[in-house]
Chains A and B, each alone.
Chain A
């Protein structure tokens, strides 16, 4: 058991070693997903189904949020059950500023990131005082606190949410066009992916991963792990804030439901589904999870005994069963499985 834990802890380290480059299923699938995401608007235009552009935009926004959370979850071992809070902060920054007639997108983004930064530093420094189970609960409690705050903001729609008149105004970049917004989200996703790739392989990422596998040892080695964890927490929060800004723009709607605790759970699940501590895992997870949700809510495959109808009405229950199965059965996640397969084949990783 201990052996397996150690090897699981160092496997991401090994994965980044410049091993022999070989085209494996993992690289192929990663490239395929990135390329496919880039081609979605073209394909949708060809088959005349513009609805899917919005659906895949949504997938990428949640992929972005999951990517952000995975920085502290997968590489820092910090299980935050409250990252929906930062999606909410991003969304509400857009909503509240728009309500007061400020539509400039740069202001939206700036205020969202500023508010997110302040909150993440404050909340992070309180939450990081506790570890383990306590951390899970406190992050959840803080997210709930802002959820209730958003509900009590009657001016901005309270429980019902608030519909934006238009998307953020980024000057020459017309977000009103769904395809433009799609490619903005896509570009941001790829950008964050590249940044995170650099980050987790830099000294910073190494310290973070070290503190995940043995925090006490890292401190004994002379690394003050707390500032590292706090910075990672803040970065991951800010990525979720950006996801929130994008989500508000995509749906042109801001509502407390964005920071509902189930959203935090969904993001966690996307990461586990795709593969904890793998760079691309969250993207795989988000795509699979939201596809499943879309399929279940509009299921029409002609199952007998009105089962179609039953699943429509109770799709959350089916998702619940799916989550339980995933956690019981899936150990490395979909993409994590490919990563591990590569490592198993690679003699360096043995």
Chain B
């Protein structure tokens, strides 16, 4: 195992982690503030990727594609929120889970009906198709761009939530929404805003993931489940938790898949390592999650109330 390979995998992990952060930031706010379980978040990711791929194919401009993806997902998110989800805010989590489960099936089929079962490929934009030389290590600049976008979004979210009036209202809503409503704040508007922002972030994640994943129906679910692992590990409702949780999950998953099989080969029998290595690697993040929960049931970075 060479250092540069390890470093490259670490960057890959960071990139996956920041992609997951884009997803979990929106979802954690929706969960924390509205106490709403939105499993359809992964479908918004998928639709974002489709919007981006199709728009990029038509216009050949990545910026336009980004605009279409983010705005399109935002509008789709708001449409879903108004038509279905807002009717379930006061209902039990069970019904929220089921309705959003139904939405996933529905949106997957919508994607299949419009764009077909076969994956759509989205090219990396020309400006980012090269590699960046990082301490003697060539690294694809597009993946580097994902890292940059993730960090920028993280910084922007931090500033908005901790330094602006809107962010203050969002935080207040997370800790006691009925009190906030009693103080005369339009909590419905805040909810819609947060949901829309979450959807737009999912769309952004879909856009960024478009060129590195194959855009196809059902692509949202693996990401959704990783996002849920991130939320549980980091602590539900906290942006900080989502950020660190996403980095932990991204890095552990990538490093585990890259190095665990070869590490195992050094310890146990070759054939056993061949069979068990990938299996354990794919289970690794769940094991991490289980250990975290066993030690700290509220996650690593729970929301601090009061």
Using CB atoms and an 8 Å cutoff, list the residues of chain A in contact with chain B: 1, 73, 79, 81, 126-127, 129-130, 132-134, 136-138, 140-142, 144-145, 148-149, 151-155, 261-262, 265, 268-269, 272, 276, 310, 313-314, 316-324, 326-328
Contact = CB atoms under 8 A, between A and B. Distances in A.
A73 B94 contact: yes
Contacts of A261: 221, 225
A261 B225 CA distance: 10
A302 to B, nearest CB: 21
A320 B283 contact: no
18 contacts: A130-B298, A134-B297, A138-B289, A140-B228, A141-B228, A145-B282, A149-B282, A151-B282, A261-B221, A261-B225, A317-B106, A317-B113, A319-B105, A320-B105, A323-B101, A324-B84, A324-B99, A326-B98
Q: Rank and list the top 9 A-B pairs by shortest CB-CB distance, nearest first.
A: A317-B109, A323-B102, A320-B105, A320-B106, A145-B286, A152-B279, A324-B102, A148-B282, A129-B297
A324 B278 CA distance: 37
B236 A134 contact: yes
A142 B94 contact: no
Contact of A81 (B35, B97, B107, B278): B97
A116 B287 CA distance: 18
Contacts of B99: 323-324, 327-328
Contacts of B95: 272, 327
Interface residues of B, number: 45
A240 B297 CA distance: 26
A265 B94 CA distance: 10
A318 B113 CA distance: 12
A330 B205 CA distance: 35
A89 B94 CA distance: 24
B33 interface: no
Interface string B80-103: 000010011010011101110111
Contacts of B286: 141-142, 144-145
Interface string B94-124: 1101110111111111101100000000000
A126 B104 contact: no
Given A137-B232, A155-B275, A126 B290 contact: yes
Contacts of A81: 97
B293 A129 contact: yes
Interface in B49-79: none
Nearest to A322: B102
Contacts of A313: 113
Interface string B214-246: 000000010001001101100010000000000
B98 A152 contact: no
Contacts of A1: 90
B303 interface: no
A326 B106 CA distance: 14
B37 interface: yes
B106 A324 contact: yes
B177 to A, nearest CB: 15
Nearest to B31: A133
B134 interface: no
A86 B87 CA distance: 33
A269 B293 contact: no
A144 B225 contact: yes
Contacts of B106: 317, 320-321, 324
B225 A328 contact: no
A268 B100 CA distance: 13
Contacts of A144: 225, 286
Given A136-B97, A149-B283, A141 B232 contact: yes
A136 B275 contact: no
A265 B101 contact: yes
A314 B93 CA distance: 28
B108 A317 contact: yes
Given A79-B93, A149-B279, A136 B113 contact: no
